[in-house]
Amino acid sequence: MSNESLANLLKEERRFAPPADLATAANVTEAAYAQADADRLGFWAEQARRLNWAVEPTETLDWTNPPFAKWFADGKLNVAYNCVDRHVEAGNGDRVAIHFEGEPGDSRAITYAELKDEVSRAANALTELGVRAGDRVAVYLPMIPEAVVAMLACARVGAAHSVVFGGFSADAVASRIQDADAKLVITSDGGYRRGKPSALKPAIDAAVAKCPQVEHVLVVRRTGQDTAFTEGRDVWWHDVVGRQSAEHTPQAFDAEHPLFILYTSGTTGKPKGILHTSGGYLTQAAYTHHAVFDLKPETDVYWCTADIGWVTGHSYIVYGPLANGATQVIYEGTPDTPHQGRFWEVVQKYGVTILYTAPTAIRTFMKWGDDIPAKFDLSSLRVLGSVGEPINPEAWIWYRKHIGGDRCPIVDTWWQTETGAMMISPLPGVTETKPGSAQRALPGISATVVDDEANEVPNGGGGYLVLTEPWPSMLRTIWGDDQRFIDTYWARFEGKYFAGDGAKKDDDGDIWLLGRVDDVMLVSGHNISTTEVESALVSHPSVAEAAVVGANDETTGQAIVAFVILRGSASETDTLVAELRNHVGATLGPIAKPKRILPVQELPKTRSGKIMRRLLRDVAENRAVGDVTTLADSSVMDLIQSRLPAAGSDD
């Protein structure tokens, strides 16, 4: 079944060669793979030289106490200096670092020289507020430039930041502040969302009431709305940061000095506090941003649409792009405010050349219609990226055609909060891309697919995605819980990092991500991946989005249950449901036919837009739904459950 269905997914043999002009001038060529294969550590030592070190490292990797890695351990650097000051010193102070586009339409351009001044002032303010190297600072902000400044100011003084997504509840923030033991919280009065100011400070007030160790709350004024202030504890950013000197001498820290803690999205369960450190993390963030996006800092305008609260925002808004001296766009709001063409208007306005977004967004744009992007001039784009979930071939092709003008290569980048930076991805000037496949480990990265007994599967086989060698931006531990770090990632396969994802190799050895192994379904003795069935459903013209789970079933072990969002024009009929079942059967084989197909209005997603299949499994198996604290909209589950009287009767 598995090989057959993969062959089916591949049957059209759609492949796209890199554009000739891009290939000719690419930052990274095919030779990088061979170079890294011949001397992996030498390769990374060379990449570390992209950074400016106060003390150059002489050691590359210390793996004497696995799984606790040290990279470039005898080197010293300041991460913020690398992201800001050195570009000014190199004569690029007038280059725009950030084009900020607020949701209401306000905008600001911040040059590297201005960013340096602002980060220096913020660093002086942190010092005045008692923050010292080794402390933790929680950041709870909307997508405004101060979020970037706050993170860099922490890095500059050697305090680890813990950014918490600005949409999380007071309880979720409180537990993260407590877990990291943060002494300062940086927030704002609010931010703009869906055309209205939305308050943030009240959640911090409620959270901090449970966190006595917090000494100060530093508040950015973004919306100007009425905001309660606690005398002595709360201070305004424009007062405290505003009055500081723009001179601040950055101190160099050890390469292994903590840079940040970040909690995973919570798609599969309780979030884990992932610890990243400085030198190795910045090396890989900078290298991958340079290689995978082919960034030309003098001419490109880069835009990553992720929130700063996710790892994508950390590595590919803050650290990678700024270490590389990029010019980038930061957008505050939602893609449909004030209209569904807002993203494309932003691309047109700033002449964006590189766009990095998520499959969930792409599927939403597909649902809204081709005519919306068609109204805007997207001819500046040259590279498109995808991250966060497997991108189904249908969405990939749509992205290429309607956003990329059939001209831009798509890089489908697989990585995790834990990996810190991209691990598996095409290179835009090298790889002949295949819609739906992340394809190949990047130079210097060792990834493969193994079976239950940890044997590498041959081409054409499927199993578990593992990383077989340490990499510079790897997580160093789970904050405060080394044992959980070992148990979660290193216990399943001896000596290998197990990522939690299922994957296959095709006949060329290219890697296809198949979703989380917890989600793989076992139907009558056959392993079937949720991703494959979802892709098959979405390839039907009536289906906009699909989420598939395996529910316990007396006869088949597990039965496939599919939740689908229909496209605007399609209406829900028994005929359509039967047609969809047959369509999956024809695409993947009869055994993959869903037993039940439930049309729904919405799917449960995390705040980062990923489908939470475990909640759907709870529904399909008639259980109370599990932890919903990372769910974007809790009413979605009520809506879906209200359909359930139909359970079992669809077949």
Chain residues 253-272 in contact with Mg ion, contact rule CB under 5 A: 264
CA distances from 622 to 71, 565, 632 (A): 48, 21, 22
Minimum distance from residue 514 beta carbon to Mg ion (Å): 15
Q: Which is nearer to ligand ATP, 183 or 610 (CB)?
A: 610
Q: Are strands 447-450 and 462-467 parallel, antiparallel or unpaired?
A: antiparallel
Report yes or no: 51 and 44 within 8 Å, Cβ to Cβ.
no
Could you tell me the two tokens for 301?
């305008």
Q: Which does 529 bind (CB under 5 to 8 A by kind): ligand ATP, Mg ion, none?
A: none
Query: Which CB, 102 or 313, lies closer to ligand ATP?
Result: 313
How far, rounded to the nearest angstrom, does the alpha carbon of residue 375 sit from its chain's CA centroid? 28
513 to 532: interface string for Mg ion, x by CB under 5 A: --------------------
Residue 610 contacts which entry, ligand ATP, Mg ion, none (Cβ below 5-8 A, type-dependent) = ligand ATP
How many H helices and E strands in the chain?
Answer: 23, 30
Please, which residue, 250 or 388, has the CB nearer to ligand ATP?
388
By beta-carbon proximity to ligand ATP, the closer residue of 161 and 583 is: 161
Of 145 and 390, the one with the shorter C-beta distance to ligand ATP is 390
Smallest separation (angstroms) from ligand ATP to the CB of 280: 18
Chosen from Mg ion, ligand ATP, none, partner binding at 413 (C-beta under 5 to 8 Å by type): ligand ATP
Question: Least Å distance between CB 388 and ligand ATP?
Answer: 5
Amino acid at 574: D
| Residue 641, binding choice from ligand ATP, Mg ion, none, Cβ under 5 to 8 Å by partner class | none
Buried b or exposed e, range 408-442, using 16+ CB within 10 angstroms: bbbbbbbbbbbbbbbbbbbbbbbbebbbbbbbbbb
Please report how close the Cβ of residue 415 comes to ligand ATP at its closest, in angstroms: 6
Closest CA to 333 of 544, 161, 162, 167: 167
* Positions in the binding site for ligand ATP (CB under 6 A): 264-268, 271, 310-311, 387-390, 412-414, 416-417, 438, 499-501, 513, 516, 608, 610
Concatenating the DSSP letter of every residue in 284-349 gives HHHHHHHHHS---TTT--EEE-S-TTSHHHIIIIIIHHHHTT--EEEE-S-TTSS-TTHHHHHHHH
Amino acid at 260: F
| Residue with the CB atom nearest Mg ion in the bound state | 264
Q: Would you say 413 or 542 has its CB closer to ligand ATP?
A: 413
Q: Which does 390 bind (CB under 5 to 8 A by kind): ligand ATP, Mg ion, none?
A: ligand ATP
Least distance (Å) from ligand ATP to the CB of residue 284?
Answer: 15
CB of 230 to ligand ATP, least distance (A): 32
Cβ–Cβ < 8 Å for 538, 395: yes
Give the bridge partners for 68, in sequence order: 65
Nearest approach, Cβ of residue 268 and ligand ATP (Å) = 3
Counting residues that bind Mg ion (by CB under 5 A) gives 1
Q: Are 291 and 442 in contact (CB under 8 A)?
A: yes
547 vs 579: CA distance, rounded Å: 17
| Partner whose footprint covers residue 516, from Mg ion, ligand ATP, none (CB < 5 to 8 Å by kind) | ligand ATP
User: Where on the chain is the footprint of Mg ion (CB under 5 A)?
Assistant: 264
